[in-house]
Structure 1
């Protein structure tokens, strides 16, 4: 499967781009956020991709960040969410906003996306609520990611904070902040100690 393309931005449309990789043009369908991040025509760019194959169609989806691709895959695992709807959601919401909406059960925020009604938005946040804390999140303006890495001490620390009554999004953000302060080698105990101070503050 094609996982990543690195080449020149050859052409763009409303929801797609053509990436020239060694003289071969790959048509990739993208969210508005990814399209705006690719740069100007003729410039070098990298897109993380997901190949979707159905009975009568094969399409390549492109994402400026691997985290956005992870959210796309998670969204399309929900019944009723196809690639078009998933891209619409990723165009309307950043990874951090989507993570926060799912963690807090905020269906109204997800329903801001074009083509997403209240019923589908409710299904999305309900099905993804428990998975939101482990997904890539926050990101704008130098903000610390709201997600802790999947597995390991960070994930255990997030679970510990949730067991203490903190909301998933708050717990994930606090642990991510602690991880940034302490470094990758931090133990679960250290992460919990620092994260508790951040979450309480």
Structure 2
């Protein structure tokens, strides 16, 4: 199983890239957002990968982050969603947008993806609604890696002391941080975080 590739961006097209790893070129199918993040030919890149094997095909799917790969796996677990459809959704929506859409049942947002009709969009949000909360958003991931003593970590700790579960507290502070910006004070993060956690 190939889980990750680190090498040079050799070439790319509308939905693929070739990553040169020590002279071997790997063809990797990607979402538009992952392709945008890779840069230009000759750049050093790292992609998380998923190997898909069918009767007559083997393909590597590449992702800019582990979160994107986790969402790809969730999406392809929904009946009627293949790898191309999952990549279309991940091209149209950021991880945070997709997580919010599933958590709030916003099928119209998912239907923005090319080739995803209203019926399939409803099935996606209905099936992933409960799972959406279990995956950390990109913002929550940033909080987890924040230095000790930072306002965001202190705010998460304060919400946990008030009885909120760690993942709920982290997600609430992440949303407060998105709203208020990086320079937000501890008090403001706790105040807005409380509203988001309770909501």
TM-score using structure 2 length: 0.75
Other-structure match for 2:184: none
**Aligned positions of 1:166-185 closer than 5 A:** 173-174=171-172, 176=174
Check if 1:199 corresponds to 2:194.
yes
- In the TM superposition, structure 1's runs of 4+ consecutive aligned residues that sit over 2 Å from their partners are 144-149, 170-173, 175-178, 194-197
Check if 1:112 corresponds to 2:107.
no
Please list the CA deviations of residues 123-168 of structure 1 after superposition, one character each: whole Å capped at 9, or x if unmatched. Answer: 000000001011132x4xxxx338998xxx99xx6xx759xxxxx9
Alignment: residue pair count: 168
Other-structure match for 1:65: 65
Do the aligned residues in 1 keep the contact of 2:169 with 2:193 (CA within 8 Å)?
A: no
Other-structure match for 1:53: 53
Other-structure match for 1:8: 8
**Partner SS for 1:145:** helix
**Aligned positions of 1:27-106 closer than 5 A:** 27-106=27-106
Do the aligned residues in 2 keep the contact of 1:135 with 1:148 (CA within 8 Å)?
A: no
Structure 1, gaps ≥5 residues long: 163-167, 179-193
Please list the CA deviations of residues 96-149 of structure 1 after superposition, one character each: whole Å capped at 9, or x if unmatched. Answer: 000000000000000000000000000000000001011132x4xxxx338998
Change (3 A) 1:114 1:147: farther
**Partner SS for 2:8:** strand
Structure 2, gaps ≥5 residues long: 145-155, 177-188
Do the aligned residues in 2 keep the contact of 1:133 with 1:172 (CA within 8 Å)?
A: no
Other-structure match for 1:181: none
Distance (Å, rounded) in 2 between the aligned partners of 1:43 and 1:30 = 17
Other-structure match for 1:191: none
